[in-house]
Structure 1
Amino acid sequence: MDRLTTLMDRFQLAVRAAGPGEANLIALEDPAGEPVRILYCTTDNAPELPSTTVMWAARVEWSGRRNPFLAALPDVVEYDITGNPEAHGLVRLMRDEAEGQHCGAQSVINRLGEVLMVRLLRNQIQNGATEPGLLAGLADSRLSRAIVAMHDHPGRLWTNGDLAETAGLSLSRFAQLFGTEVGETPMGYLRRWRLTLAHQDLRRGDRVESVARRYAYTSPEGFTRAFRKAYGIAPVSLRMAAA
C-alpha cells in the first residue's frame, strides 16, 4: 500500500535553490560541516536561524489548492538526518549543483528535492501526529488502508461499510477511530477530497458534466451546489476562467 504516490501525483512540487529569507526547505549542519537536520516550513513564517548553521536552502512550491497532506503538517517539520547517509548524499549533491551552476542543475535539484521531500514526508507518517488530521490517519495502519482507497478511487460509490471493511474494522469502531484521528467523518473527508480533485480538473478545462460523473455526483446540479459551497464559485465559471 502506497500512502504518498497519489498525493504526490496530484500535488506536484518544484524545488529550487533560494536564499535563507525566501527558503522553506533548510538543511542545517553541525560544526564539522555534516548535515544533521532538515527543516521544512509549511507557512511563510520561516524560523530565524544563525547563518553559520545553514548548509543549504531551497524553496518548495506545490501545485494545486488545498493539499490535504500539506494542511496536516505542522508549521515547521523537523527531519533528523543524523547518521542517514542517503539523505546526506542528497543534500550535498543539491548544494553542489546549485553552487556549481552546472548545465541542467535546476532539473537535478528539482528531482533530488522531490526525493528528499518524499523521505521527509515518510518520516512524518512514521512518527505520526499529536493533532487530528490526515497525517494521523495515514500513520494508523488500519485507517490508512481506507484513506488510500479513497485517494486512489475517488469515483467509487463508497459507503462507510465498504471503508470499514477495507480498514479491517467494525463499522462503529471505524467511524469512532476515523473521527478521533482524522477529525471528521469518512464521508466528509471523501467529499472534500473529491471536490479538491474536481477543482484541479476544472482548472485544466474538463467539462463540468464529466467532472461530476467522475467523482460520483448523480447530477451536475448537485455537484454545482457542493462545489459552490466549498469554493464560492460555480464550477462552470472556474472552467471558463481556465479556458
Structure 2
Amino acid sequence: MDRLAALLRHFHLNARVFNTGPLCGAASYHGGEGGGYIHILKRGSLTLESADAGDIIIDRPSLMFFMEPGGHRLIPGEAGAETVCGTFTFGSAASNPLARAMAHPIVIPLEELDSLAGTLALLFEEAFNDRCGRQAALDRLCELLIIQLYRYLMESGDLDVGLLAGLADPRLSKALIAIHEQPSANWTLVTLAARAGMSRARFAVAFRDTLGQTPGAYLIQWRLCLAQALLKEGKPTDHVASTVGYSGSPALAKAFRQQLGLSPSQWLKQLPKTSS
C-alpha cells in the first residue's frame, strides 16, 4: 500500500523554484508556517547558517531540505556557489503532518542520492537553459524531487523519530496508513494495534517513541488537519464532521475548541484573507 498517497491527496504539494545560478552574496530566508525550502548546490561551496543546526560548510554538490524552517542563510564560498533554490507548501492546511515531519534541516551529498539522479539531471537541464515553459517545468520537477526525497528518507533508515520514521516502520506504517485512508473509522488503540500486528501495549510504546505522541493524539490531529483543509474549501461543517469522523457539528466544534481554542467558524474568521 502507498504510504504517501493519502497525505499527498489531501495536502497538495506546490513548489516554486525562485533562484537558479550563482549566489550573489549571502542570501537570507525566513521561515513560513506550513512550508519549507529546498536548496541544491550544483557547483562550488557555501556555508549554511541555521538556528536549528548551527553553521555547516558544504563543499560538494548537496541537497538541503527544510520543513517549517526557522531563518537561515546561504553564504557562497570564495569560488562562488551555483544553486537551484525553491520553496514549497502543502496546500490549504498549514499544520499537516508532512509539514511537521522533520524538525531539523537535512543535508545530503548528491552522490548519495542515486534514486534522484534522473530528476536532478532534468532539473539542472531546465534550470540552466532558457526554454519555453521553463518555470512551469522547474516547479513540477521540484515537486517530483521532493516526493522522491520523501521516498529516499523512508527507505534509507536514517530517520528514527517522526512521521517518516513511522511510515518507514513495516508495522507502524500499517496503522498510520489506516488512519490516513479512513479518518472517519472508529479507531481505538486495540484496532490500530491489530492493524499493526502488535500487542496493544507494545504498539502504544512504539508509536509514542517513534511519532512523539500517542496514537489517539495523532488521530485527533489528523482529523482536525483534514477538517481545516475542508473548511477552507468551503465545505459545510456537518459534511466536514462526518468526513473526518465526528458525529456532527457540535462534536467537531468541541474538538476544535479543545485543540485550538476556537470554534470552526472562529478559526475560519481569523485566517488571513487571500487576494482574489
Q: Which TM-score applies when normalising by structure 1?
A: 0.86
CA distance in structure 2 between the partners assigned to 1:107 and 1:185 by the alignment:
41
Stretches of structure 1 lacking an aligned partner (at least 5 in a row): none
Identify the residue that residue 15 of structure 1 maps to in structure 2: 15
**1:38/1:81 contact within 8 Å kept:** yes
Q: Aligned to 1:122, which of 135, 146, 151?
A: 151
Q: Deviations over 1:14-48 (max 9, x none)?
A: 222223636721112356xxx83211122142343
Where in structure 2 are there 5+ consecutive unaligned residues? 30-36, 45-59
CA deviation profile, 1:67-119 (whole Å, cap 9, x unmatched): 21221213212233306555333233223324434222222112211111011
TM-score (norm 2): 0.77
| Root-mean-square deviation (Å) | 2.8
Q: Secondary structure at the match of 2:106?
A: strand
Q: Could you tell me how far apart the structure 2 residues matched to 1:9 and 1:238 are?
A: 23
Q: Looking at secondary structure, tell me which structure has more helix per residue.
A: 1
Say which structure is richer in strand.
2
Correspondences of 1:89-104 after superposition (within 5 Å) = 89-104=118-133
Residues 16 and 110, structure 1, Cα contact 8 Å, conserved in 2: yes
Question: What code does the residue aligned with 1:48 have?
Answer: L
1:45 matches 2:71? yes
Give the distance between the partners of 1:111 and 1:185, measured in 2 at CA: 36
2:255 equivalent among 194, 208, 226:
226
CA distance in structure 2 between the partners assigned to 1:129 and 1:156 by the alignment: 29
Whether 1:183 aligns to 2:212 is yes
Quote the residue 2:38 is aligned against: 25
CA distance in 2, matches of 1:79, 1:141: 24
* Residues 1-243 of structure 1: pairs in structure 2 closer than 5 A: 1-19=1-19, 21=27, 24-29=37-42, 36-42=61-67, 43-50=69-76, 52-63=80-91, 64-82=93-111, 84=113, 87-126=116-155, 127-130=157-160, 132-238=161-267
Percent pairwise identity: 30
Structure 1 residue 165: deviation in Å?
A: 1.0
Cα distance per residue 1:46-81 (max 9 Å; x no partner): 343425344322222332211212212132122333
- Deviant stretches of 4+, over 6 Å: none
8 Å CA contact retained: 1:15, 1:59: yes
Question: What is the one-letter code of the residue matched to 2:66?
Answer: C
Report the number of matched residues: 241
